[in-house]
Amino acid sequence: MKKQGILNSHIAEVLAHLGHTDTIVIADCGLPIPDGVKKIDLSLKIGTPGFIETLEAILEDMEVEQATIADEIYENNPKMMSFIDEKFSKGQIQSVTHEEFKKKTEQAKAVIRTGEATPYANIILHAGVIF
């Protein structure tokens, strides 16, 4: 049995297979997941698990060089945006319209669906390298 890190075997497998610039998505419970993209559904009930705790756990295991969010989060979910700002430097955060964000999810290796139920609590993480 694993002693530390991500215990969810589906997430651990996706993270182990990521290469430089590959992407994964952490999504709220309402984001549509494109056909053909692996869905890892963590949602138990509204709010559980939340976006914040899921993102924190992923960031402990994944080297991230860039993050993409929807422009709409700035106005519609400032609390979540504040958390994201704490986790990433300004140069690491790219924002696009929500419609463009949804298109970009089509290229993701996986979408991790949380129980989060606040607006635009979604992020695309772009894998970096550890050397």
Distance CA 122, CA 80 (A): 9
pLDDT at 36: 97
Tens of pLDDT along the chain (131 residues)? 888 899 999 999 999 999 999 999 999 999 999 999 999 999 999 999 999 999 999 999 999 999 999 999 999 999 999 999 999 998 999 999 999 999 999 999 999 999 999 999 999 999 999 99
Predicted pLDDT of residue 2: 84
**Which one of the listed residues 17, 20, 98, 126 is annotated catalytic?**
20
Euclidean distance between CA atoms 123 and 128, whole angstroms: 15
0.85 exceeded by the pTM? yes
Respond yes or no: is residue 20 known to be catalytic: yes
User: How is domain 9-127 classified at the architecture level of CATH?
Assistant: 3-Layer(aba) Sandwich (3.40)
Three-state helix/strand/coil letters over 66-121: EEEEECCHHHHCHHHHHHHHHHCCHHHEEEECHHHHHHHHHHCCEEEECCCCCCCC
